[in-house]
Structure 1
């Protein structure tokens, strides 16, 4: 693998959790591994590795974009990532209120339901 893959893998694990990332890579067959490599190198090793925004800011942006795209699996993953990157539950709820205004109430209702599931799994956060 490349240096960007290695850097991206480290960032991806720090945000999404080592167990999730390891499972994604271990479960990838030869075809799916192409996508795993692309995501790890370019999403995580290129964009997330940039110094222009802190990881917590990137997480906050992701919550809004992923909610707008109606991707609940990814939203749940990135709520956990946002907690890992230092956002508080209160800040995530504020983001969901913003989502309600700009993405619509149904998106916010789904986002709040998902966030509450993640919060329940992370009572210390």
Structure 2
């Protein structure tokens, strides 16, 4: 593994949780392993470790983009990560209201539904 992958793995575990990342890595097969390694190295190692924007701000940007792209699995994951990175439920609500205005009400509605599911999962452990 490269140094960038190792840096990315560390950040990924800090943001998404060690259990989630370990399960994700263990679940990778011959077909998906390259994508898992590539995303860890470049998304988490090359981008999330850059000093220009803090993790909280990166979470804000991710929530908006992922909700607009209609990626529910990733959105739920990043709602949980955003809370770890210091966002409040009220701030997440404001982000999704802005998504609704600029990207469409259906995107906003789905984002609220997914966030509520993420909040319940965190509350229920």
TM-score (norm 1): 0.95
Alignment partners' CA distance in 1, 2:75 and 2:122: 16
In the alignment, is residue 52 of structure 1 matched against residue 17 of structure 2? Answer: no
Query: Hey, what does 1:122 align to over in structure 2?
Result: 122
Query: Hey, what does 1:108 align to over in structure 2?
Result: 108
Paired residues of 1:9 and 1:44 also in contact (CA < 8 A): yes
SS state of the match for residue 87, structure 1?
coil
Q: In structure 1, list runs of 5 or more residues that go unmatched.
A: none
Displacement of 1:4 after TM fit?
0.6
TM-score (norm 2): 0.95
Query: Hey, what does 1:4 align to over in structure 2?
Result: 4
Aligned length in residues: 123
Alignment partners' CA distance in 1, 2:99 and 2:19: 29
Consecutive aligned runs of 4 or more in structure 1 exceeding 4 Å deviation: none
SS state of the match for residue 30, structure 1?
coil
What is the RMSD computed on CA atoms of the aligned residues?
0.9
Q: In structure 2, list runs of 5 or more residues that go unmatched.
A: none
Paired residues of 1:4 and 1:45 also in contact (CA < 8 A): yes
